[in-house]
Amino acid sequence: MHQMSSDMRSCIEECLRCYGACLGMAMNHCLEAGGKHTEPAHFRIMMACAEICRTSAHFMLLGSPHHKHMCRECAEICEECAKSCEALGDMQECVEACRRCAESCRRMAA
């Protein structure tokens, strides 16, 4: 990651960590727990969060100036995912990853 600002490096890391937390929790913890954990609205926001995090990291790695728009959207989706996970309970790893990623993305989007 050649000549990249340390803020961007750290935002890429937060995005990839949040991608891993959301996809990993959805496909393991949520699928196995069932019930409220696989209700469409909750499961969808987790999958959408995983995808926007993956894509925001990708845009920063591409060196595209559009990464700012992706990071702004990422911060918004992460906040929504954190709330959905907090309301369910038992998803603390995901809540924390989403909050950290949202904060980092807001800085990149500014």
Residues at the interface with a copy of itself (CB under 8 A): 1-4, 12, 16, 20-21, 23-25, 27-29, 31-32, 34, 38, 40, 43-45, 47-48, 51-52, 54-55, 57-59, 61-64, 66, 69-70, 73, 76-77, 93
Q: Considering the complex, what minimum distance in angstroms separates the CB of residue 107 from a copy of itself?
A: 19
Q: Which of 22, 50, 30 is nearest to 90 (CA)?
A: 30
**Residue partners of 73: CB distance under 8 A and separation at least 6:** 52, 56
Q: Closer to a copy of itself at the Cβ: 33 or 103?
A: 33
Q: For residues 38 and 106, give the distance between their C-alpha atoms in angstroms, rounded to a whole number.
A: 29
